[in-house]
Amino acid sequence: MDEHGKWVRTTFGCSLTYEAGSYHQRCPVAIAHKRVGMSIGFTARRRVCSICGDDFADCPHLPSMLYVVSGGPNAEGNCRICGTRECTEHLASQIYRMPPIAIVTEIEQLHEISFVRKPAQPDARITSLPVDTAALGPSFVPGTPINCNRCIRPCVGIEEIESLT
């Protein structure tokens, strides 16, 4: 990942995002090095099977089994492979081997949102990190473009968030 980030930085250049008076790091390489994501605690009213679209508790598909499934949407309109709506990656003309996914279609009550080291859903991650510009000195003018050089420096590894360990 770092090598790809370095190629992008040296080929196209990278900069921090300036928005609403502050700078943000939105680079997926930099964010991937932070071991933190989000998890929600909730009570589901309805879960459907990604393969057949029936109620997940009543359908014949077992979570521990792999099934041969064609891509495309199920009766609920969710992709049979990844469970998302409007998926363009998993085509109906392709065949996949996968377990069924329980897709929550109705939430009864949201109980909490937690920061965790490894979220169950890999995409449930932070997408923007604030950047402190204090080190740039008193003559720095906010709004000035700032290059990001993270990917051209050596990788320092994964950053563990101490309060989550």
pLDDT for 22 beyond 70 = yes
pLDDT for 25 beyond 90 = yes
- CB burial of residue 6 (10 Å; 0-12, 13-18, 19+): middle
pLDDT for 76 beyond 80 = no
The whole-number average pLDDT for the span 52-66 is 92
Residue 122: the pLDDT is 76
Number of Cβ atoms within 10 Å of the Cβ of 44: 14
pLDDT tens track for 32-49: 888 889 999 999 999 988
Kind of pairing between the strands at 67-70 and 95-98: antiparallel
Residue 10: the pLDDT is 93
pLDDT for 160 beyond 90 = no
Q: Tokens for 4?
A: 């790809």
- Sorted by where each begins, the domain ranges of the chain are 2-36+126-164, 40-111
Rounded Cα gap, residues 80 and 97, in angstroms? 11
pTM: 0.58
Range of lowest pLDDT (13-17, 80-84, 88-92, 133-137): 80-84
